[in-house]
């Protein structure tokens, strides 16, 4: 069984980023119609120029009116939605222990990484229920399974994303809705820009496959989970990390 997305309509958030852009390219190549969403209008413009036929929407999904505008654009463009990919997120502070955090910093990470995906999930569920089903793929992280020193807000938010995935799957499986998450290991995206080579070398040394992931390798798993080929995969958290977390 192939992971074709022919005839499917998808919404991908964080689409201007490395993994999000790779997901959009893969989805379109597999036959899906896609609305690519991001706060980065320039990045969406570059994506649209590269991927013919993709629709774009600039929206702040941490704001209620941003979520409303996004689904209005979805309704206007396609009139339905089969797949939601909750990819957008931020890293937050990377050098502070918990007692050093400003709660405003924590709130910003939780708003982008957990509250916004919940708001998008709440918006999409009635549409999917009415349509008889759908697929949601969330972006989690190994950091949501194992505490990472000095990135507390990010780790906590991704732990929440894992439980949001499981909760959604459990509550809506009978409605024909599947919800799974991909937990990428260290991936070659802009988040690594400026990272000292010595630090990156230390990271690679801890990955049994001896390298970091490419965005398209993460996108490939997202395509599979979104497709009918994964019809009995529900509530799973799939590590794509070169055996680093094994």
What's the rounded Cα separation, in Å, for the pair 140 and 99?
24
Neighbours of 236 (CB within 10 A): 15
The confidence score (pLDDT) of residue 193 equals: 80
**pLDDT of 69 above 90:** yes
Strand ranges (E), 14-121: 33-38, 55-58, 83-86
Tell the residue number behind the tokens 């989970």, with chain if given: 225
Say how many residues make up the chain. Answer: 246
Q: What is the predicted pLDDT for the residue at 164?
A: 98
pLDDT of 199 higher than 80: no
Percent of the chain at pLDDT exceeding 90? 88
Average model confidence (pLDDT) across the chain:
95
Cβ contacts of 223 within 8 Å, gap of 6 or more: 3, 5, 23, 26, 27, 30
| Extents of the domains making up the chain | 9-232
Q: Lowest-pLDDT range, 144-148, 170-174, 192-196?
A: 192-196
By annotation, the residues acting in catalysis are 154
Question: Taking a C-beta distance cutoff of 8 angstroms, is the pair 36, 15 a contact?
Answer: yes
Q: What confidence tier does 82 reach under pLDDT thresholds 50, 70, 90?
A: very high
The answer to whether residue 244 scores a pLDDT higher than 90 is: yes
pLDDT the model gives residue 243: 95
- Read off the pLDDT band of 51 (50, 70, 90): very high
Confidence band for 2, pLDDT divided at 50, 70 and 90: low
| 84-137 pLDDT tens trace | 999 999 999 888 999 999 999 999 999 999 999 999 999 999 999 999 999 999
What is the CB-side half-sphere exposure of residue 137 using CA atoms within 13 A?
Answer: 31
Is the model's pLDDT at 1 over the cut of 80? Answer: no
Helix axes 64-77, 116-131, angle to 10 degrees: 30
Could you write out the three-class secondary structure of 103-169? Answer: HHHHHHHHHHHHHHHHHHHHHHHHHHHHHCCEEEEEECCHHHCCCCCCEHHHHHHHHHHHHHHHHHH
Distance CA 125, CA 207 (A): 37
Query: Over pLDDT 70: what percentage of the chain?
Result: 99
Q: What is the mean pLDDT of residues 58-78?
A: 97
Q: What's 9-232's CATH class?
A: alpha beta
Q: Alpha-carbon distance 51 to 48, whole Å?
A: 5
């Amino acid at each position: 069984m192939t992971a074709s997305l022919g005839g499917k309509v998808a919404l991908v958030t964080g689409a201007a980023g490395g993994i999000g852009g790779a997901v959009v390219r893969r989805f379109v190549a597999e036959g899906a119609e896609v609305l690519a969403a991001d706060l980065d209008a320039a990045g969406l413009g570059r994506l649209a120029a590269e991927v013919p036929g993709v629709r774009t929407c600039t929206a702040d999904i941490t704001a209620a009116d941003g979520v409303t505008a996004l689904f209005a654009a979805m309704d206007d463009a396609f009139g339905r939605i089969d797949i939601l990919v909750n990819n957008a997120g931020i890293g937050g502070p990377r050098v502070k222990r918990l007692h050093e955090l400003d709660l405003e910093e924590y709130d910003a990470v939780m708003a982008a990484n957990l509250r916004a995906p919940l708001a998008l999930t709440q918006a999409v569920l009635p549409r999917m229920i009415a349509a008889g089903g759908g697929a949601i793929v969330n972006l989690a992280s190994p950091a949501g399974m194992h505490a990472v020193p000095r990135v507390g807000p990010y780790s906590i938010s991704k732990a929440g994303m894992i439980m949001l995935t499981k909760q959604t799957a459990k509550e809506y499986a009978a409605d024909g809705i599947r919800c799974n998450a991909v937990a990428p290991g260290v991936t070659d995206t802009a988040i690594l820009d400026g990272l000292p080579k010595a630090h990156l070398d230390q990271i690679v040394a801890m990955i049994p496959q001896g390298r970091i992931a490419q965005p398209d390798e993460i996108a490939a798993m997202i395509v599979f989970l979104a497709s009918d080929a994964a019809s009995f995969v529900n509530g799973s958290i799939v590590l794509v990390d070169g055996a680093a977390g094994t």
